[in-house]
A = this chain, B = another copy of it.
Amino acid sequence: MKRTGFSKADCPVARGLDAIGDWWSLLIVRDALDGLRRFGDFQKNLGIAKGMLSARLQKLVELDVLELVPASDGSAYQEYALTKRGRDLFPVIVGLRQWGEAHLYARGEAHSDLVDQAGQPVGQLVLPSRTGRPLTWSETRVRKAGARKR
């Protein structure tokens, strides 16, 4: 049967997953954020089947997460560049990275690290209230689409 879709959902989480929640899209975006731009580079780095990659890249271009631009080396080929919409996925990737780091590695096991320009590891993602105070999960709730403030 056809895979269930959420492109019309009231919940932005569901709609987001519908767009980029498949097996490969976020990994492609991760690689794009790391600077990869060419079809062959993605294919080599991910070990993905070329047909899959082709379909995913097309979908990401349709979604305006990536765009095709002339190759930066002057050749006749094209490159896949991140759009603003694609760059805006940065916090999602960082969130996944920090969760993975905290829970999916044995003590002392090596993994790649996100660092700033000085080479210093970055801090944890923070969700601020409107006034700037950091919020935890238990201090928030989801207000349904049509609901009135209370």
Q: Which residues of B contact A102 (CB under 8 A)?
A: 88
Say whether, besides A95-B125, A125-B91, A110 and B140 are in contact (CB < 8 Å).
Answer: no
Contact present for A103 and B119 (CB under 8 Å)? no
Chain B residues lying within 8 Å of A112, measured Cβ to Cβ, are: 10-12, 142-145
CB distance from A77 to the nearest CB of B (A): 25
- Return A95 CB to nearest CB of chain B, in Å: 4
Q: Is the CB of A27 within 8 A of B17?
A: yes
A13 x B100 contact (CB < 8 A):
yes
A73 lies within 8 A of chain B by Cβ: no
Chain B contacts of A132 at CB under 8 A?
123
Asked if A72 CB lies within 8 Å of chain B CBs, one says no
Q: For A14, what are the chain B residues with a Cβ–Cβ distance below 8 Å?
A: 27, 30, 100
* Cα(A143)–Cα(B117), bound, Å: 11
Question: Do A12 and B100 touch (CB < 8 A)?
Answer: yes
Q: Which residues of A contact B (CB under 8 A)?
A: 3-4, 6, 10-17, 19, 21-23, 26-27, 30, 33-34, 47-48, 85, 87-105, 110-117, 119-130, 132, 135-137, 139-146, 149-150
If A88-B102, A117-B139 are given as contacts, then 10 extra A-B residue pairs at C-beta distance below 8 Å, sorted by A number, are: A3-B23, A11-B112, A13-B27, A116-B139, A117-B140, A119-B143, A119-B149, A121-B130, A122-B140, A123-B130
